[in-house]
Amino acid sequence: MQSLAAITLQPAAVASLVGYLVLIAGAAWAGGSSVAFLTLGHRRMQVLLSFTGGVMLGVGLLHLLPHAYLEFGRRIDTTVAWVLAGFFLMFLLERAFHGHAHHSADGSHGCGHDHASDHAHSHAHAAAVGSGPWAWCGAFAGLALHSLADGAALAASVGADGDHGDSLLAGFATFLAIVLHKPFDSGIIATLMIKAGASGGTRRLVNGAYALVVPLGAILFMASLRVAGGHQSTVLGAALAMAAGAFLCIAAADLLPEVEFHSHDRLLLTAALALGISAAWAIVVMEHSSHAHAAHAGAGGGHAHD
């Protein structure tokens, strides 16, 4: 197996990672600039969130976890320990900053239908979270830390996939899970800033800064790998496993409850969740097929990896 430092210098891996980071930054900027999800309507936004939850759940279990397992030398106990650490750290982050209070920004007061009492309580609680004039600072801090972790997860995923050959789909599953989520997150920050009366210039500055956090996370992670030396596989395995745990936490604690709370649309939201999981599975299958093709081509040309 090649060292990750060599792998990440390959043109295909570099091009994939740079392209993903540009698209993610653009999605984050667009979400914060237009606050586009406010125009989706309540039902459409819940469907999209359910689909995103399915993608994150599928990517965490089907993509990140198996890669971490391989990087740790097929040591399941070590892998699961890091997954649990990632889950718990993201749980603490969510509780400390309330970073994903999607309910506070979905126009819930104009839903046009009655909710169950626990659902109404969820809306009321989320609204209270974002009621202070500086609430956006907490949201920005929490989501920025989350985005740094996303950048590290994406870089680790591209590096791990690149270890199987020069695949154009390297890291695509992780990219999809991240890029689907970023417009909502940046939109939450923008919405809270509008509620706080922040100026347009301040909102643009904060939105631009947030759009660059995922690329910064990827750069910091790649720099840490160069410092790690012979421990690169351990660092990569830990990053992938913690990313899997973080994805599971976000899906289970933040996105998937949408399916339960919105009982009036339970079939539609469950279908969206299933579609998201299916999309993650399909991407993983395509990546595996691409890896097998790359390995065959490499063997035929005398360039197979050790």
Convert the pLDDT of each residue in 209-229 to its tens digit: 999 999 999 999 888 877 776
Per-residue pLDDT, 304: 39
- The residues, ordered by sequence, that sit 6+ positions from 260 with a Cβ below 8 Å of its Cβ are none
Q: Which amino acid, 161?
A: D
Would you call 286 exposed, middle or buried from its count of C-beta atoms within 10 A (0-12, 13-18, 19+)? middle
- Beta-carbon count within 10 A of 220 CB: 13
What's the first-to-final CA gap in the chain, in angstroms? 4
The tokens for 101 are 């209070």
Distance, CA of 276 to CA of 278 (rounded, Å): 5
Per-residue pLDDT, 208: 95
Per-residue pLDDT, 270: 87
Question: Are the beta carbons of 59 and 246 closer than 8 angstroms?
Answer: no
* DSSP character at residue 110: G
Q: Is the pTM of this model over 0.85?
A: no
Alpha carbon distances (Å) from 137 to 179, 191, 210: 22, 12, 12
Question: Are the beta carbons of 55 and 280 closer than 8 angstroms?
Answer: yes
- Beta-carbon count within 10 A of 223 CB: 10
In 3-state terms, what secondary structure has residue 212? coil
Regions in the chain scoring below 50 on pLDDT: 1-9, 36, 99, 101, 103-131, 166, 293-306
Distance, CA of 67 to CA of 158 (rounded, Å): 11
- Note the residue count of the chain: 306
Distance, CA of 262 to CA of 271 (rounded, Å): 13
Per-residue pLDDT, 23: 96
Per-residue pLDDT, 183: 87
Question: Which phi and psi angles does 86 have, rounded to 5°?
Answer: -65, -40
Distance, CA of 225 to CA of 64 (rounded, Å): 18
Per-residue pLDDT, 298: 45
Per-residue pLDDT, 282: 85
Per-residue pLDDT, 302: 39
Angle formed by the axes of helices 200-211 and 172-195, nearest 10°:
160
Per-residue pLDDT, 163: 61
- Beta-carbon count within 10 A of 23 CB: 14
